[in-house]
């Protein structure tokens, strides 16, 4: 029998926020970032909007980034928060929130 793969959940953010996006511990498996007419940045943190930076992307003007993380992705042990959001929209592709192997670190 093959290895178990969790269901994927998509969470879209459109508009600047510094609030929690996903509150429970979660693994980021992929991300889609849509840029604006000018270059932009998105920074994702855990614990809070001022917590540890676990992902940062710079997006060229008018571009779209679509990235899948290898292996187990990036674990956000205390949820996913945004500290910088100067892009049009971000879609986070994560394990479903109740997926196996998610523990608060």
Parallel/antiparallel/unpaired status of strands 40-46 and 52-59: antiparallel
Domain 8-95 CATH (choose: 2.60.120, 3.30.950, 1.20.1630, 2.40.50): 2.60.120
**pLDDT over 80 (residue 12):** yes
85 versus 103: which is more confidently predicted?
A: 85
**CA-based nearest residue to 6, from 103, 74, 101, 104:** 101
Q: Which positions ≥6 away from 5 have C-beta within 8 Å? A: none
Model pTM score: 0.82
What is the C-alpha to C-alpha distance for residues 89 and 47, in angstroms, rounded to an integer?
22
Query: What's the rounded Cα separation, in Å, for the pair 44 and 90?
Result: 11
Can you say whether the dihedral through the CA atoms of 49, 62, 65, 8 is positive or negative?
Answer: positive
Q: Where are the chain's structural domains?
A: 8-95
Q: Kindly report the average pLDDT of the chain as a whole number.
A: 85
Using CA atoms, how far apart are residues 88 and 90, in angstroms rounded to an integer?
7
For residue range 57-98, list pLDDT tens digits in order: 999 999 999 999 988 899 999 999 988 889 999 999 998 765
């Amino acid at each position: 029998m093959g290895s178990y793969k969790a269901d994927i959940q998509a969470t879209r953010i459109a508009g600047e926020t510094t609030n929690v996006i996903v509150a429970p511990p979660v693994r980021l498996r992929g991300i889609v970032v849509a840029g604006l007419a000018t270059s932009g940045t998105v920074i994702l943190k855990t614990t809070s909007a001022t917590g540890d930076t676990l992902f940062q992307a710079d997006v060229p003007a008018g571009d779209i980034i679509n990235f899948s993380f290898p292996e187990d992705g990036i674990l956000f042990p205390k949820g996913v928060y945004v500290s910088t959001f100067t892009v049009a929209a971000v879609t986070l592709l994560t394990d479903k929130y109740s997926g196996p192997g998610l523990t608060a670190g």
